[in-house]
Amino acid sequence: MIWLLAGMFLVTYTPRLIPFLFASRLDLPPWVRKWLKFFPYAALGALIFPGILTAVPGRPALAAGAGILAAVCALFIRNITVIVVLAIAAVLLLQNLGVVL
Amino acid sequence: MREVRTTGVGRSVRWGLSNGLPIALGYLPVATTFGILGRQAGLSVAAVTGMSAWVYAGASQFLAVKMIASGVGFFQIILATLILNFRHFLMSTVLARKIEAGKPAGAALSYWVTDETFVVASVHASPDGLNSLSFLVMALMAYLAWLSGSFVGGMFADLIPVRIVDGMGIGLYALFIALLIPSARKHWQFALVAATSALTAWGLSRLATGLSEGWALIAATLGVSALGTLLPDVETEP
ipTM, 2 dp: 0.94
A97 pLDDT tier (thresholds 50, 70, 90): confident
* Cβ–Cβ contact A8 with B under 8 A: yes
How many Cα neighbours within 13 Å face the side chain of B59? 22
Res A92: pLDDT: 94
Check if the beta carbon of residue A70 is closer than 8 Å to that of residue B178. Answer: yes
| B110/A84 touch (CB, cutoff 8 Å), yes or no | no
* Higher-pLDDT residue of B186, B238: B186
DSSP secondary-structure letter at B70? Answer: T
Q: How much is the pTM? A: 0.92
Mean per-residue pLDDT, A78-95: 95
DSSP secondary-structure letter at B233? Answer: P
* Higher-pLDDT residue of A65, A28: A65
Chain B residues lying within 8 Å of A77, measured CB to CB: 178
Check if the beta carbon of residue B35 is closer than 8 Å to that of residue B160. Answer: no
Which string of DSSP letters, residue by residue, matches B75-126?
A: HHHHHHHHHHHTHHHHHHHHHHHHH---HHHHHHHGGG--HHHHHIIIIIS-
Q: Is the pLDDT of residue B210 over 80?
A: no
| Helix (H) and strand (E) counts in chain A | 4, 0
Q: Is the pLDDT of residue A98 over 80?
A: no
Chain B residues lying within 8 Å of A15, measured CB to CB: 82, 85-86, 88-89, 92
* A67-76, A88-97, B3-12, B36-45: least confident range: B3-12
Res A25: pLDDT: 76
* Higher-pLDDT residue of A23, B30: B30
DSSP secondary-structure letter at A52? Answer: G
Alpha helices in A52-101 (DSSP H): 60-76, 80-97
Give, in degrees to the nearest 5, the angle at Cα A19 between A17 and A21.
75
Nearest chain B CA: its distance from A93 CA (Å)? 10
